[in-house]
Chains A and B, each alone.
Chain A
Amino acid sequence: MKPSTHSTPLLRAMNIFVAFVLVLSFSSSAYCGDREIGGYVDRAEDRFVRNVWNFIKNFQGQQNIGSHRYQEVQYFWGEPFEFDSSHQNFVDKMDLAYVAAHGSAYYVQTNQSTSDGVDLRNCPAYGDLANGGDLEFMIIESCNTVASAPEAPAGGDWWTPMTSIFQGLHQLVGFRTLSYSDNGIPNRYANKLKANGSVWRSWFDTVNEERQYSSTVAPDGAPYPGYASAIMYTTTENDRLGDYAADPGGGAANMKTWWQY
């Protein structure tokens, strides 16, 4: 059938309208969803306040990063329920959560005086898949929490303790050793992320930038400011805030860890 060459004014108007709608929808998809950032502070030394603030201060007001917009929307003293029973309203409501705390392997302290905290092995699954959460990236600036392959027991199973929180979560980033904080890490890391840098690589670079020549070596042998580590999937290791992979399916399949030594 020969295409009609008779275009009525009504048809032309409809075409223009459709084109207008398409343009509008494309331009809005350039920022296809606002992303949220939360900061959670262990009620302990002031340095934890400084650590979280120096990160989230860079996300006041909407920040365009790649095809997304990020803004800090939560800044709370830490409470266990923010990580477990009400996680959907707190860390798991965010796209990126930044936590500064005392820690040990898998553990995050939320209040020093009451000795409260959460063990990530007992926390609910984070991410879009299981519990109606949203979290893609969790950054924990603490000692030892992000235990990696060198911390695994004989047999090398570093992943099982972590799989419970990964149900859509893309990356968990932090330190596998003791860590010294109260330095330039949070601010510089935030700027690398705003430049659309890799979530975990930016962290590792920032930690390396802080390393210094001194006699300061932690009792576990890690030089200042500690050794960085990250848990992720092979499908999510190139994630950045402005452009990241589809949510990983959870579980141990394709899980990967990177660490400094």
Chain B
Amino acid sequence: MKKTLLLLMGLTITLLMSSCSSCGRTTEPPASKETVYVYTFESPAAASPDDSKKLIEKFLGTSNVGDLYKSDENTVYYVSKDDVSETFEHDLNNGNITYNKSMKKYMGDFVPQLPSREEAIKMAEEFLNKNALQPGNMGELRLAHFGGLRASSVIDGKKAGPVIDELVALTYGRTIDNMPVMGPGSKIVVNIGDKGEVMGLIRRWRELSAGSKKQVQPEEMISQREAEEMARRQIMSEYGEKTPYQIIGSSKAYYDNNGKILQPVYIFETTINIPSREQNIKPINYLCVIPMLKNSPEPLNLTAIDPRAKEAIKSIKQGEVVPDQNRDKKIDE
């Protein structure tokens, strides 16, 4: 009896010690299905259109591009005056770039020699390495899609011409803590053309700031059940009350909204069955993203609607005189 008691006490102490070793402040808890974090992205160095011009020269070999168009959102755009297929975009806020080299030679009947899937993957990763575009942690990079671009013309107005494979496209996504990162950020797309030449790139990738990982406490996040209810309300709000729907999948993910933080979300893949007399209108697949944080420092507001969008829209009946709306009106007036 005494021996059994001593054995039990020893076991309890061992268990307590092992549990304490994982709750120490200096030790990172292992990622589990229940553990999510908020991360901060590294802030890119301040950039200007002159930096964009240097990148244009580096990737397109084009200098003297003149003045560049800059959007209200602080993105700089270059489109060659002589060749509409040669483009460059640089988001000065976060360093995202998109570019396309000239596709002039791909017009008409030219049939490029494209690499196989395996060759293309190797070429893309070599290109990223060579140009210091690869992620800091290659373990985060996931090939999400292998596809491309095709074209076909009508011959003599009567016959289908050959289908020409113009480019292959590799879309890489990101995983953090074994969860996918969704949203407009955290992706790299490499377009590869004739003889393995990289013809275009989309790079929306910022490193996570070291030491920024902050575990989300249970009381800081909404539960799966609450999220499902929010998803239901979102669907009812979008599609109308009593709309039949089905949740076909749910998961946790991170969301990169091109802002300052990476935050956890619930993802609900749903099918909406709208009764319709129209033939061929299929049930709608609707992706419902519900932020996991009760008080996000950066609310996503993914379904927020600009009040002007609804105020400005007009109904018109057949035969009514059509007004020219907004003629010479500025948006801020």
Partner of B148, one of A82, A197, A260: A260
| A238 and B160 in contact, given A112-B276, A159-B154 (Cβ under 8 angstroms) | no
What 4 pairs across the A-B complex have the smallest Cβ distances?
A213-B173, A195-B77, A156-B160, A53-B309
Specify which of A74, A209, A259 is in contact with B184 (CB 8 Å cutoff). A209
Q: Tell me the chain B residues, 285-300 only, with Cβ under 8 Å from chain A.
A: 285, 287
B181 to chain A, nearest CB (A): 7
Does B331 lie within 8 Å of A60, measured CB to CB? Answer: yes
Question: Which residues of the partner chain A approach B312 to less than 8 Å between Cβ atoms?
Answer: 53, 75
Q: Does B8 contact A (CB under 8 A)?
A: no
Shortest B84–chain A CB gap in Å is 4
The complex places the Cα of A188 from the Cα of B204 at a distance, in Å, of: 14
Report if B75 contacts A (CB, 8 A).
Answer: yes
Q: Mark B178-219, 1 if CB is under 8 A from A, else 0.
A: 001111101101000000000010101000000000000000
Tell me the chain A residues, 114-137 only, with Cβ under 8 Å from chain B: 115, 117
Instruction: Other than A191-B71, A192-B89, A212-B180, give 12 A-B pairs with Cβ distance below 8 A.
Output: A49-B310, A57-B308, A71-B327, A74-B325, A75-B313, A79-B318, A112-B274, A115-B278, A183-B184, A197-B84, A205-B200, A213-B187
A-binding residues in B (CB < 8 A): 69, 71, 73, 75, 77-79, 84-85, 87, 89, 98, 100, 107-108, 142, 144-145, 147-154, 156-158, 160, 163, 166, 169, 171-175, 180-184, 186-187, 189, 200, 202, 204, 237-239, 249, 251, 253, 267, 269, 274, 276-282, 284-285, 287, 302-303, 305-306, 308-310, 312-318, 322, 324-331
Which residues of chain A are within 8 angstroms of B152 by Cβ–Cβ distance? 149, 156, 158, 256-257
Tell me if A98 is interfacial: C-beta within 8 Å of chain B: no
Q: Is the CB of B314 within 8 A of A209?
A: no
Query: Given A45-B238, A237-B107, is A211 in contact with B153 using a C-beta cutoff of 8 Å?
Result: no
Within 8 A of B (CB), among A147-194: 149, 152, 155-159, 178, 180, 182-184, 191-192, 194
Could you say which of B152, B154, B169 has the most chain A C-beta atoms within 10 Å of its C-beta?
B154
Which chain B residues lie closer than 8 Å to A82 at the CB level? 316
Contacts of A212 in B (CB 8 A): 144, 173, 180-184, 186-187
Please, which residues of chain B bring their CB within 8 A of the CB of A182? 302-303
In the complex, what's the smallest C-beta–C-beta distance from A23 to chain B, in angstroms? Answer: 23
Q: Point out residues on A near B: beta carbons under 8 Å.
A: 41, 44-47, 49-50, 52-54, 57, 60-62, 71-77, 79, 81-82, 85-86, 89-90, 93, 102-105, 107, 109, 112, 115, 117, 143-144, 149, 152, 155-159, 178, 180, 182-184, 191-192, 194-198, 201, 204-205, 208-216, 218-219, 223-224, 227, 234, 237-240, 251-261
B183 contact set on A, CB distance < 8 A:
212
Contact B145 A259 (CB under 8 A): no
**B158 contacts A194, C-beta separation under 8 Å:** no
Query: With A and B bound together, what is the CA distance between A71 and B309 in angstroms?
Result: 16
In the assembled complex, the Cα of A197 lies from the Cα of B78 at a distance in Å of 8
Chain B residues within an 8 Å CB radius of A76? 313-316
B278:A234 contact, CB within 8 angstroms: no
Asked if A75 contacts B154 (CB within 8 A), the reply is no
The interface centre, meaning the residue of B150, B187, B331 with most chain A CB atoms within 10 A of its CB, is B150
Contact status of A256 and B153, CB under 8 A, knowing A53-B309, A191-B77, A216-B287: yes
A-side contacts of B267, CB under 8 Å: 214, 216
Q: Is the CB of A102 within 8 A of B238?
A: no
* Partner of A178 from B189, B285, B327, B328 at Cβ < 8 Å: B285
